[in-house]
Amino acid sequence: MSPRTAIDAEGAWFEPDRIAELRRHLPIPYIDVVPVRTDVDGTVAQVGLLLRASGTGRIVRTIVSGRVLIHETLREAIARHIDKDLGSMALPRIPASPVPFTVAEYFPTPGQSLFTDPRQHAISLAYLVPVDGEASPQEDALELNWYDVAELLESGVMDELEGGHDIVVRRALAHAGVI
């Protein structure tokens, strides 16, 4: 999640200097997506997490997450980031409502909230998105794994999420009524 990765991820729309400048002046609007697979009755059964190289060379787990671009709707941003991370064969059911299940406020300084992002102050609207098709890791992602809810919570996988993404996942599962 280095500045460089972020810029690449957005399609190099900004020069690195430009986005660094913007980040000094404004909170950056974000969306966080927790991809899930559901049972036929709608119950969340599995959570999808990506494994990717961070900007600093470490391997980290992440949810789908990224900026909302200028003139882009939230729905477009959700669809674009899912497409970018899970591929065009993923069939996301983007929520009918724009109301997020939580809002995660990421600050550069740890401790100002439960969420940190060393690059920026981001305000992220978080959505639970059932995915029906064949999702596969894209670009800089190494793996996409689906975890049964119980397995996810009992394993150490949640600890591999950074910056508070584990809390976003927990809130998604609490909202969905499975924890």
Q: Which residues here bind a copy of itself, judged by CB under 8 A?
A: 14, 18, 22, 24-29, 36, 38, 41-44, 68-76, 79, 93-103, 105, 107, 112-114, 121, 123, 125, 128, 130, 167, 170-171, 174-179
H/E stretch holding 82? helix 74-86
Q: Smallest distance from the beta carbon of 142 to a copy of itself, in angstroms?
A: 27
Q: Please give the C-alpha separations between residue 93 and each of 97, 131, 166, in angstroms, as whole numbers.
A: 11, 6, 22
Q: DSSP states of 100-117 as a string?
A: -SEEEEEESSTTSSSEE-
User: Measured from the CB atom, is 1 or 68 closer to a copy of itself?
Assistant: 68
Three-state secondary-structure class, residue 66: strand
Tell me how far the alpha carbon of residue 162 is from its chain's centroid: 11
Q: Are 158 and 152 in contact (CB under 8 A)?
A: yes
CB of 68 to a copy of itself, least distance (A): 5
Selection from 30, 11, 13, 53 nearest residue 137 by Cα: 53
Minimum Å distance from CB 65 to a copy of itself?
16
Nearer to a copy of itself, 29 or 137 (CB): 29
Nearer to a copy of itself among residue 27 and residue 55 (C-beta) = 27
Work out how close the CB of 131 gets to a copy of itself at its nearest, in angstroms, rounded to a whole number: 11
User: Toward a copy of itself, which CB reaches closer, 60 or 94?
Assistant: 94
- Nearer to a copy of itself among residue 59 and residue 91 (C-beta): 91
Report d(CA 82, CA 76) in Å as an integer: 10
Task: Please state the closest distance from residue 91 (CB atom) to a copy of itself, in A.
Answer: 9
